[in-house]
Amino acid sequence: MWWWRFGNDKNSLWVKVIRGKYNLDRRSWLPYTHGSGSISNVWKDICSVGNLDSALGFSIREGFKVQVNSGQDTLFWEHSWLGTTTLREEFPRLYQRSNQLDMVLSDICGGRGSADWNLQFRGTLRVRENQQYEELKQRLIGVTLEPSKQDSLQWIWTADKVFSVKSVYRQWESFAQSQNTLLGSVWRNLSPPKVEIFSWLAVQDKVATRSVLLQRNVISESQLAMCPLCALIVETPQHLLLHCRFAWAVWSGIVDWWNLQWACPSSVVELAPWWFGNRFRNLEKHIWEVCFLAILWSIWLTRNDYIFNGATTQASKVVDLVKTRVATWMKAKFDIKVYTVEDFKGYLNGIRKVKV
């Protein structure tokens, strides 16, 4: 497929020709247009595939990550190489202050390993910017460059990280089919889109936890891959979102809130059928189902808050946050003005039966 070949045949003639013709950055990994001048329809089509606001566009856009080795071809801010998106998107304030917008990793890191990041900003950073800077430094711990190997483009939807058209279709299909199946339970339009996307990845075991970053060589040492919430076990998606004693306490807190009994499932994927198979009706059904998303999302935010801000909390507080999120989303969706967020948390049984 063209996106893959564009990134991995960087030195081939056709890529050079296209770059020259459309004046593209030599370091771009993925096709794009400047949106001006005369552009052939073929190239326009190729570029537009990943910009589609659809399942296909999403699976393509999110599928490509840069595998960093020497760092010579990877733009620090603009390329997606650490975590799920670009650092520009993740740290917008710092990006605006940066003096190094156009720099590649090897320019900033000095090639001497993780301790040597030389990030520069214009002016003095404000309090909030400094916090972001600390978060960013945390993220960079453990990143090391390998000067002898070239950076390359990776495709995350296959086990061997090599792009295949089949895998795009598989991914696309699973998006499309999932609208009607269990996987699709997350697409209810009841919570913010980012929460749905995160949950959708979670029920497929595709969350970028530390174990995944370790596999992708984004972090280099296994002790850095431990679960941040318990520090006992390597942070795999299943562990973080379900089996960690912290996560488990959050799930149990919500199940107790509903006075239900349950047994520990082996994975989020197995938990979903039980969760969405509970036969509630009306408002009750919506509340119950959105709890599933709110729990996953809240655990993820707690984890990030700890990693990036050093903030610790208790499971009971997160349970309360889950309830608040659910109440807020439901009130936004169903216009149930009579009940406050506090009502929701306190008198769930009374509210559950309301018809919507």
How would you class 281 by CB atoms within 10 Å of its CB: exposed for 0-12, middle for 13-18, buried for 19 or more?
exposed
299 is a contact residue toward Zn ion (CB under 5 A): no
DSSP 64: E
108 is a contact residue toward Zn ion (CB under 5 A): no
- Shortest CB 90 distance to Zn ion, Å: 23
Query: Could you tell me which stretch among 158-166, 216-224, 240-248, 343-351 binds Zn ion (CB under 5 A)?
Result: 240-248
Q: Alpha-carbon distance 76 to 86, whole Å? A: 8
Q: Which residues pair with 226 in a beta bridge?
A: 234
Compute the Cα dihedral for 190, 195, 199, 201 and give only its sign. Answer: positive
Among 78, 38, 323, 175, CA closest to 186: 175
Compute the Cα dihedral for 334, 322, 210, 85 and give only its sign. Answer: positive
- Residue 121 is which amino acid? F
- Shortest CB 197 distance to Zn ion, Å: 23
- Shortest CB 32 distance to Zn ion, Å: 39
Count how many residues are written for the chain: 356
Number of residues near Zn ion (by CB under 5 A): 4
Nearest CB to Zn ion, comparing residues 88 and 303: 303
- Shortest CB 290 distance to Zn ion, Å: 25
230 is a contact residue toward Zn ion (CB under 5 A): yes
Q: Alpha-carbon distance 112 to 89, whole Å? A: 26
- Shortest CB 241 distance to Zn ion, Å: 10
241 is a contact residue toward Zn ion (CB under 5 A): no
Nearest CB to Zn ion, comparing residues 142 and 237: 237
Nearest CB to Zn ion, comparing residues 311 and 356: 311
Residue 169 backbone dihedrals phi, psi, to 5 degrees: -65, -40
Query: Could you tell me which stretch among 15-23, 54-62, 229-237, 294-302 binds Zn ion (CB under 5 A)?
Result: 229-237
227 is a contact residue toward Zn ion (CB under 5 A): yes
244 is a contact residue toward Zn ion (CB under 5 A): yes
Query: Could you tell me which stretch among 110-118, 242-250, 298-306, 328-336 binds Zn ion (CB under 5 A)?
Result: 242-250
Query: Could you tell me which stretch among 7-15, 236-244, 257-265, 270-278 binds Zn ion (CB under 5 A)?
Result: 236-244
Q: Alpha-carbon distance 341 to 321, whole Å? A: 11
Q: Alpha-carbon distance 219 to 210, whole Å? A: 8
Q: For binding to Zn ion (CB under 5 A), which residues are involved?
A: 227, 229-230, 244
